[in-house]
Amino acid sequence: MTWGSPSSGPSLAALRQRAAGLGSEAGLRALARELRADPRRGAQALAARCLRRASSLARERQRLAGLLALREQLRRRGMERVAGVDEVGMGPLAGPVVAAAVVLPRRPELPGLDDSKRLAASVRERLAEAIRRHALGVGVAEVWPPLIDRLNVYRAGLLAMTRAVRALPEAPDFVLVDARTLPDLALPQRALVRGDARDASIAAASIVAKVHRDAIMRRLDRRFPAYGFCRHMGYPTPEHLDALHRVGPSPVHRRSFAPVARHAALGGAPGG
């Protein structure tokens, strides 16, 4: 498309609306090429914005390709269903350890997928819904404080991840685990240090587990409002430690964790 005079082509408002509706790198670059023939200053500025957005999409495409690279290697070795597994909630003083296992399709449509710790809560929740819609399988498992206290939290994390893999609707061909191996899981597996930043399946699992656990902690906040679980998710913040000092531990606190054990021994009123 070319423009002989500013009045002979689409208005700048229409062009901006068209640009806003484009979500592909190719579409944005094509529009930028058209806009370069338009002498209007606003059209040239819009062309530059389209190119910046296209470059950003290209970087995101390359980043996601890196997250999928290891799975592609495994697929070339005949392992089609690769599960990523991760856990959350190892450090809190209250609530469960939660693990998730996720098997993604070969080319997942999950822009913005990343380590859950690097994402805003609203983005995590949106991605968790998208992951559940697009995944070939999702398994989630919880290990609650009574069992955490009996096992210790490290073993509870291993148990939660093992249970999450077993909760998948179909057993995977291979399991990628964030930083650990699962000794009780009789499946081929690999520990991947910083796996939630290096593999799409583990990143997806970290998001599903985090969103699931946060929802549990919000429910626990309604049952035990004295502790502020909805704000700190059970982590040992000053607010949480002050509540423990004032009212003692609730039934969902981890008695084997030192700050809880210390306040339980002081005999605060249980339950909040």
Say how many C-beta atoms besides its own lie within 10 A of residue 26's C-beta.
10
Q: What is the model's pLDDT at position 4? A: 45
Classify domain 80-218 by CATH number: 3.30.420.10
Q: What is the model's pLDDT at position 24? A: 82
Contacts of 64 (CB under 8 A, 6+ apart): 110, 111, 113, 200
- Is there a contact between 205 and 218 (Cβ–Cβ < 8 Å)? no
pLDDT, averaged in runs of 10, over the chain (272 residues): 56 91 86 91 92 80 81 93 97 98 90 78 94 96 98 98 98 96 96 91 96 98 98 97 95 97 69 52
C-alpha to C-alpha distance for 51 and 29, rounded to whole angstroms: 6
Q: What is the model's pLDDT at position 8? A: 60
Name residue 61's amino acid. Answer: R
Hunting for tokens 């593999």 — which residue is that? 199
- Is there a contact between 175 and 201 (Cβ–Cβ < 8 Å)? no
Which pTM was predicted? 0.79
Domain segments of the chain: what residues? 6-73, 80-218, 221-266
